[in-house]
Structure 1
Amino acid sequence: MLFIGDDWAEDHHDVELVDDEGQVLARRRLPEGIGGIAGLHALIADHLPEDWIELEPEQVQSLVKVGIETDRGPWVAALVAAGYEVFAINPLSVARYRERHSTSGAKSDAGDAHVLAEIVRVDRAHHRPLAGDSQEAEAIKLVARTHQSLIWERSRHVLRLRAALRDFFPAALEAFDDLDAPDALELLAAAPDPGRAGRLNRRRIIPALKRAHRRNVEARATELLRVFGAEQLRRSAPVEAAYAAVVASQAAIIATLNTQVEQMAAVVDAHFGRHPDAEIYTSQPGLGVVLAARVLGEFGDDPHRYTDAKARKNYAGTSPITRASGKKKIVLARYARNRRLGDAVQQWAFCSLRGSPGARAYYKQLRAKNVGHQAALRQLANRLVGILHGCLKTHTPYDEHTAWNHHLSNAA
């Protein structure tokens, strides 16, 4: 076999080729892009063993193993398309392997390429090859992550807006429970300081409430007028003007993010609806289209990626870890995990409490044993991930009786 370590940067790749015995055959720095990938193919061709000449091209490609610290991008896609077996090695793992080769603390791109080549030569059995997900799953993962990132970004800006209002205009926090609501954003854009808010009238407030589809607009308008017209502590005029500019800019950003979140959700819906496993995912209790798309995108759809339900649970981060030494044994939550998937399955577990009697009964059993709320949700999420694995393995939708009857009967 040939083993390649690829230390990538934004505009170049340091690569090293080694053989089965660990002998270095070549080192190169290749540019990013078509020229660089063509150079890598040529470098591999120049060092093919003589006994490979009679092999078919597909056989030759499968004997080339590549280690790299990323699982995405056009370069990685080109390596997979060429038929090489690619291992995406976690950078934290590479750092530990680097200490195995050198204790001096020295680091270089060429040295990292050597470490990556040695990982796939010696320890590739302990690392997972790049999953063979379909193009549809890759697209779902991209749009679902973007949608999730937009929501996280909106939350950050809402917190910034709340902090600014708390410092100079606390009446606005009393007036609006949800600062990302359309009526709150419209009125804050029109009146971002106490002075202008105190001059608002019904003709300005009621249309904003109606556009936000609020109920009891007359009563709500009266309440807002009371809050904005009440006496309150004020800052100096220059400070208020500066804060007002901050509030107006944050309100505009949040309004734009609201629009983009809604539009991206429609894109997620369109991509997810075309996937053959969509029906299985949406049959799970607590999984709507957007949340199901996140779960599918992060798990992928390679049928050979997870050997069993435990492997899928480990990847989701729902299964606990055990630290045992001598007579001491501690079971802990698994915090080193895919953060996006962990967030999605935790939300899935919470939503399932309303849609599944079995999930709700299981959660109540855990709480009755003095298990905390978050820990109970993690255990419920672990169970749900196992159920999903079984549904995908057998290509059957979720069934409440099948999923929970055996477990709850044993508990009784």
Structure 2
Amino acid sequence: MIYCGIDWAEKHHDVVLIDESGQLLAKRRITDDAAGYQVLLDLLAEHEDTQDEPIPVAIETNRGLLVAVLRTGARQVYAINPLAAARYRDRHSVSRKKSDLGDALVLANILRTDQYAHRPLPDDSEQARAVAVLARAQQDATWNRQQVGNQLRSLLREYYPAALAAFAHWKNGLCRPEALALLKAAPTPADAARLTRPQIAAALRRAGRQRGIEAETERLREIFRAEWAHHPPLVEKALGRQMLALLAQLEAACTAVDDLAHAVEEAFLQHKDAEIILSFPGLGTQLGARVLAELGDDRNRFADARGLKAYARSSPIARASGKKSSITRRRIKNDRLNHAGYLWVFSALRASPGAMARYRHRREACGDWHASALRNVFNSLIGQLHHCLQHDKVFDEPAAFPAPNAPRRLPDPDSPRPISATAPKFAPQRSDLRLLCLCDSH
């Protein structure tokens, strides 16, 4: 058995091949271009790399052209976490020395000794990878838009509070086309105070508004002409120039979000799993695409629903040492999937009576806090999604949240909860209930 480790960099990559005893077979430094990739493939072919028995490869990234070349065929590529690789490095050398060749050797030895403990990159289809690229890009663009919008809001608060008061009445505030058009027409409070009714109405029409223009024009004109504090004229003009620069970034971010949203919808609806994902309460096109992007369509990626729940950080984790034991929430997770799950649960509570009933049960009967109850509902939904994807079934509300045989009597919300004699008055004694509910949730 032969194992390959690659330490990647921006301009070159170090490649190491070892056998099952740890003996070094070959080492090579290749360039980051098509010629270098061909040298790597030739090196693997020289050491009996075939389509039926490919050489597994360990590398510290899961993206890029190098990974795309390695994933051709049936070759297994293992994306090793850099933190895990750093811990393995201490096993081979206590002097803390480090080199690119040594890191490649460490990665190869990880596969030689602990290949079973690491997961290869999923064998997702080309369409699923395209959805992942677009969904993650749209999510990054949304976060970038929020960041630029916060910067613009902070700047307007310093010298242009009339704009914030005028746009607070609108949904999405500064990101609306009307707000962008008015800020372009009047970058300073003095310019806004001089705007006439026809100028305000023309700006609203340019932004695409068709109804209620006269009423909005009067409201905006009253706000802009009210009494506000001002900076000196030169300082105010300079702040206006700074605002226009941020405004251009915000406008570009809004355009990117809209364009990527259309691309995500088009790609996601063509995927074979779209019907199953959209059948779940609370999952729309954009949020469903984000879930598909992180789960992929490789049915063998997770051995069971427990692995997926741990990957999404919805299942609890037990820590035991001697006589002490505790059950806490996970911290290592897929951040994108966990963020999508948080939004998913909020929408599912309104769309699914069973999800709302489960949330109420966790809050009232089990004594969970709001975040714990949401995680429990997400834990149930993500497990049901795994089952439906494995068996090609759509979501079924009665099967997902069956009605109990007997009506469960919930405690009166106005009655006080039992309090431990040693615990403070504001801390309910619910540790035993939490343990029982966690076991019931699995």
* Interval of TM-score (by shorter of Structure 1 and Structure 2): over 0.9
Q: Could you tell me which residue of structure 1 aligns to residue 5 of structure 2?
A: 5
Q: Does 2:395 correspond to 1:402?
A: no
Q: What is the CA–CA distance in structure 1 between the aligned matches of 2:179 and 2:328, rounded to whole Å?
A: 42
Q: Could you say which residue in structure 2 is the equivalent of 1:41?
A: 41
2:162 matched residue in structure 1: 171
CA 1:323 to 1:169, structure 2 compared with 1: closer, same or farther past 3 Å?
same
Structure 2 residue 278 is the aligned partner of structure 1 residue 287? no
Aligned to 2:412: none
Where in structure 2 are there 5+ consecutive unaligned residues? 410-442
For 1:141 and 1:407, the matched residues in 2 are separated by 39
Structure-2 residue corresponding to 1:114: 105
For 2:21, what is the secondary structure of its paired residue? coil
Structure-2 change in CA distance of 1:408 and 1:273 (3 Å): farther
Residues 1:39 and 1:208: Cα distance change in structure 2 (over 3 Å)? same
The one-letter amino acid paired with 2:20 is D
1:372 offset after TM fit, Å? 2.7
Q: CA deviation at 1:168?
A: 1.2
Q: Deviations over 1:225-254 (max 9, x none)?
A: 222112222112232122111211222222
Which of residues 237, 243, 248 in structure 1 aligns to 2:239? Answer: 243
2-structure distance, mates of 1:150, 1:381: 25
Q: State the partner residue of 1:65.
A: 56
- Does the 8 Å contact 1:189/1:247 carry over to 2? no
Q: Closer, same or farther in 2 for the Cα pair 1:259/1:295, shift >3 Å?
A: same
Work out the CA distance in 2 between the residues paired with 1:179 and 1:324.
Answer: 50
Residue of structure 2 in register with 1:137 after alignment: 128
The size of the alignment, in residue pairs, is: 403
Whole-Å Cα distance in 2 between the matches of residues 325 and 204 of structure 1? 71
Question: Is the Cα–Cα contact under 8 Å of residues 16 and 26 in structure 1 kept in the other structure?
Answer: yes
The 4+ residue runs of structure 1 with deviation greater than 4 A are 406-412
What is the alpha-carbon distance in structure 1 between the residues aligned to residue 66 and residue 220 of structure 2? 56
Check the 8 A contact 1:362/1:408 in 2, yes or no: no
- Give SS of 2:52's match: helix
Structure 1 residues 219 and 327, CA gap change in structure 2 (3 angstroms):
farther
SS in 2 for 1:160: helix
Does the alignment pair 1:388 with 2:385?
Answer: yes
Q: Residue 328 and residue 80 in structure 1: after superposition, are their counterparts in 2 closer, same or farther (change >3 A)?
A: same
Once the two structures are overlaid, the 10-residue window that deviates more, 91-100 or 204-213, is: 204-213
Instruction: Verify: 1:349 aligned to 2:345, yes or no.
Output: yes
User: Structure 1's 10 and 339: CA in aligned 2 closer, same or farther, altered over 3 A?
Assistant: same
| Residue 275 (1) aligns with residue 271 (2) | yes
Tell me how far apart the structure 2 counterparts of residues 376 and 215 of structure 1 sit (CA, whole Å).
43
Residue 337 and residue 176 in structure 1: after superposition, are their counterparts in 2 closer, same or farther (change >3 A)? same
- Alignment-derived partner of residue 162 in structure 1: 153
1:194 aligns with 2:189: yes
Q: Which residue of 1 aligns with 2:361?
A: 365
Aligned-partner Cα distance in 1 for 2:301–2:210:
48
Structure 2 partner of 1:206 = 201
The one-letter amino acid of 2:88's match is Y
CA distance, structure 2, for counterparts of residue 203 and residue 105 of structure 1: 72
Please tell me whether the aligned partners of residues 181 and 204 of structure 2 are also in contact (alpha carbons under 8 angstroms): no
Q: Against the structure 1 CA distance between its residues 372 and 171, is the aligned structure 2 distance closer, same or farther, given a 3 Å change threshold?
A: farther
Distance 1:164 1:214, change over 3 A: farther
Q: State whether residues 17 and 25 of structure 2, in contact with CA within 8 Å, keep that contact through their aligned partners in structure 1.
A: yes
User: In structure 1, how many angstroms separate the alpha carbons of the residues matched to 2:149 and 2:80?
Assistant: 36
Give the alignment partner of residue 377 of structure 1, picking from 362, 374, 386: 374
Residue 411 of structure 1: how far off its partner (Å): 6.4
34-43 vs 380-389, greater mean Cα deviation: 34-43
- Asked whether the equivalents of residues 185 and 252 of structure 1 are also in contact (C-alpha less than 8 Å), the reply is no
CA distance in 2 between partners of 1:408 and 1:285 (Å): 24
Q: Aligned in 2, Cα 1:408/1:218: closer, same or farther, shift over 3 Å?
A: farther
Taking only aligned residues, the RMSD between alpha carbons, in angstroms, comes to: 2.0
Other structure's SS at 1:256 match: helix
Distance in 1 (CA, whole Å) between partners of 2:350 and 2:201 is 35
Determine helix, strand or coil for the equivalent of 2:327: strand
Which has the bigger relative contact order, CA under 8 A and spacing at least 6? 1
Could you give the per-residue CA deviations for residues 49-76 of structure 1, whole angstroms, max 9, x where no partner exists?
Answer: xxx9xxxx33332xx1110011122211
C-alpha displacement of 1:205: 2.0
- In structure 2, C-alpha distance between the alignment counterparts of 1:408 and 1:136, rounded to whole Å: 44
Query: Which amino acid counterpart does residue 26 of structure 1 have in structure 2?
Result: A
Asked whether 1:22 is paired with 2:22, we answer yes
Which region of structure 1 is more displaced relative to structure 2, 388-397 or 70-79?
Answer: 70-79
* Distance change (3 Å), C-alpha of 1:179 and 1:407: farther
Cα distance change, pair 17–411 in 1 and its aligned pair in 2 (3 A): farther
Q: Which amino acid aligns with 2:115?
A: R
Show structure 1 runs of 5+ residues with no match: none
- Alpha carbons of structure 1 residues 378 and 398: separation in structure 2 relative to 1, 3 Å: same
C-alpha displacement of 1:407: 7.2
SS of 1:59's equivalent in the other structure is coil
How has the CA–CA distance of structure 1 residues 46 and 256 changed in structure 2, closer, same or farther, with 3 Å as cutoff? closer
- SS at 1:17 equivalent: strand
Asked if 1:307 corresponds to 2:303, the answer is yes
User: What is the CA deviation profile of residues 44-100 of structure 1, one whole-angstrom value per residue up to 9, with x for unaligned ones?
Assistant: 33344xxx9xxxx33332xx1110011122211211214322111111111121222
Q: Which amino acid letter does the alignment assign opposite residue 202 of structure 1? A: R
